Structure 1
Amino acid sequence: MSSNNWTLPNTFDYQGRKVRYGFKGKGEPLVLVHGTPWSSFNMRHLIDQLSSDYKVYYYDMVGYGQSDKSNSDVSLGIQNQLLCSLIEHWELESPFIIGHDFGGTTVLRSHLLNRQNYKKIVVIDPVALSPWGSPFFKHVETHEEAFSGVPDYIHEAIVEAYVKTAAYQSLPQDTIDGILSPWQGEEGKPAFYRQIAQADSKFTDEFQDKLNDVRSPLLILWGEEDEWIPCEKAYSLQQKITGSSLATIPNSGHLVIEEEPAVLSQLIKDFINQ
């Protein structure tokens, strides 16, 4: 599906804020959680490939994609609360769950801090171990207002250049357009810098010492050429979660969900079917 017709058909009211979601397929429930600066659009390949075996639920985090992007809390501190609320809204008992990047953080926070139950957990290049946050993140945090005021064409060039560094393979223009789309316009531009400015290592510090309390089988997937969060972090994370499994994916970076979705889908299905 092209970036132009990616739409989430359903709306959930979360504390007065509109959260968009969708679902596809039949079978046991499986929830997908995107990261930053992505949206459910970047999960579309996984949605297509996994919905042949599962009922796949997906959504845009508050502050992202087609969900509410008003000037309010969009930090990791609220995303796990939203995830738990959605799982309750969908009436899911113990779904399979997959989180990429900040989505992996959100899944771990919901499991370890909110005691949300999952049948099995998959995290893909998650933000899980401090320290993290690029020099760009730090710069935006200090100068959020200045960034929000740059002309649109400069803003779009910044976002495009930034997202390209997440991939090892070159991204098709249609994919880049789909990533850029939610971050454009009067709402989108400040929303992009807002979510970066609100990123804070305290949200991973809150669960780092609890990682061995993970109660579900857990698989870590990592792009071997990830320049955002180097692959060494994958091995460190695996050591902290007793019994967890790890698979690294060659020729892919942090945006492995776009680069090697078929490989990911097969690894996920094999893990769930074990």
Structure 2
Amino acid sequence: MNDTVQFFSFQGRSVAWNVQGEGLPIVLIHGTPFSSHVWHRILPWLARQYRVYTFDLLGYGQSEKGKDVSLGVQSRLLSALFEHWKLDHPAVVAHDFGGATALRGWLLEGLRYSELTLIDPVVLSPWGSPFVTHVRKHESAFSGMPAYAHQALLSAYIRGASSQGLSDSMLKPYLTPWLGKVGQEAFYAQIAQMDSRFTEEVENRLNEIECPTTILWGEEDAWLPFEQGKRLVNLILGARLIPVPNAGHLVQEDAPEAIIAAILDVSKPQESEQLNSPQTLSKENPSILKSQAKK
């Protein structure tokens, strides 16, 4: 598979992206404070059957930091990438802020998807943890704190997204983009730009989503409670809700097999080959996804 990162210029700003695999197109959209790395345990399996597009949202991962990194600009970026990639009705998988970006893409940018999978998406108000609310009020104080204090705070914050726990080696790729002077300032800047008006713009139009929609939600999500998933499924016509036991907000790390099963529908034979069932992935060989991620 092609691991080479490519760059796309959006309004004069650099956006990192990658494509792997062959088949029907599928676009993976990460959330905050993550990057496209969040798909590292999912992508190898999807690339067996799809042409998989990943990218870092503006201000995240290897994409350019600074300036506008709000939800308002991310859906416009998504639209520009669809045009650059020449995509027509791809499947879309979106997590956290990526969920809001995908929904805004459909409702405000006129994008269309063959199917939509939302994973603990930021959609319904209220959202934003007490930490986020506090940072928004005191951005300058946080952005100027000593580097060691920032790293400790950042580590604790990201670890809170997983109910299973993140080892130091698992945590490192999530920390790295936000370290150093530029990274630290960018981390608190993206929090300061979080604004519920960007989700409120589409919240009352969710019944206009007309593609098959699946919602996965970690039952132990400490950032966005599972009850939000129960509300959301009733607002999107024909949507189905899949609770993910023993998973927090970061389902990609806590239960990647649940996402793979939902997308690939591995309980049914595939045309090319029979993939393992999610039960096989998690019980008979629980290390298989970890070994894939290390490649």
Q: After TM superposition, is the score higher than 0.5?
A: yes
2:6 to 1, 10, 24: 10
C-alpha RMSD over aligned residues:
1.4
Could you tell me how far 1:27 is from its partner in structure 2? 0.2
Question: Counterpart of 1:27?
Answer: 23
SS in 2 for 1:116: coil
Question: Counterpart of 2:242?
Answer: 247
- Residues 164 and 8 from structure 1, CA distance in 2 versus in 1: closer, same or farther, beyond 3 angstroms? farther
Question: Counterpart of 1:144?
Answer: 139
Sequence identity, in percent? 47
Question: Counterpart of 1:4?
Answer: none
Read off the aligned partner of 1:16 and give its amino acid letter. Answer: G
Could you tell me how far 1:8 is from its partner in structure 2? 5.5
Q: Which runs of 5+ in 1 are unaligned?
A: 1-6
Read off the aligned partner of 1:134 and give its amino acid letter. Answer: S
Taking the aligned partners of 1:8 and 1:214, their CA distance within structure 2 comes to 34
Q: Deviations 1:203-241 (Å, cap 9, x if unpaired)?
A: 110000000000111000111110100001111000111
Q: What are the within-5 Å matches in structure 2 for residues 118-157 of structure 1?
A: 118-157=113-152
Q: List, as ranges, runs of 4+ consecutive aligned residues in structure 1 with deviation greater than 4 Å.
A: none
Question: Counterpart of 1:3?
Answer: none
Could you tell me how far 1:49 is from its partner in structure 2? 1.5
Taking the aligned partners of 1:105 and 1:8, their CA distance within structure 2 comes to 27
Read off the aligned partner of 2:56 and give its amino acid letter. Answer: D
2:39 counterpart of 1:43: yes
Taking the aligned partners of 2:207 and 2:258, their CA distance within structure 1 comes to 28
Q: What are the within-5 Å matches in structure 2 for residues 189-208 of structure 1?
A: 189-208=184-203
2:92 to 92, 97, 100: 97
TM-score norm. by structure 2 comes to 0.88
2:220 to 220, 225, 240: 225
Taking the aligned partners of 1:42 and 1:217, their CA distance within structure 2 comes to 24
Taking the aligned partners of 1:48 and 1:105, their CA distance within structure 2 comes to 25
2:165 counterpart of 1:170: yes
Structure of higher RCO (CA pairs closer than 8 Å, 6+ residues apart): 1
SS in 2 for 1:176: helix
Question: Counterpart of 1:58?
Answer: 54
Could you tell me how far 1:172 is from its partner in structure 2? 2.1
Taking the aligned partners of 2:220 and 2:4, their CA distance within structure 1 comes to 31
Taking the aligned partners of 2:4 and 2:37, their CA distance within structure 1 comes to 9
Contact 2:29 2:95 in 1 (8 A): yes
TM-score norm. by structure 1 comes to 0.95
Contact 1:8 1:20 in 2 (8 A): no
SS in 1 for 2:42: helix
1:81 to 76, 83, 106: 76
Could you tell me how far 1:186 is from its partner in structure 2? 2.1
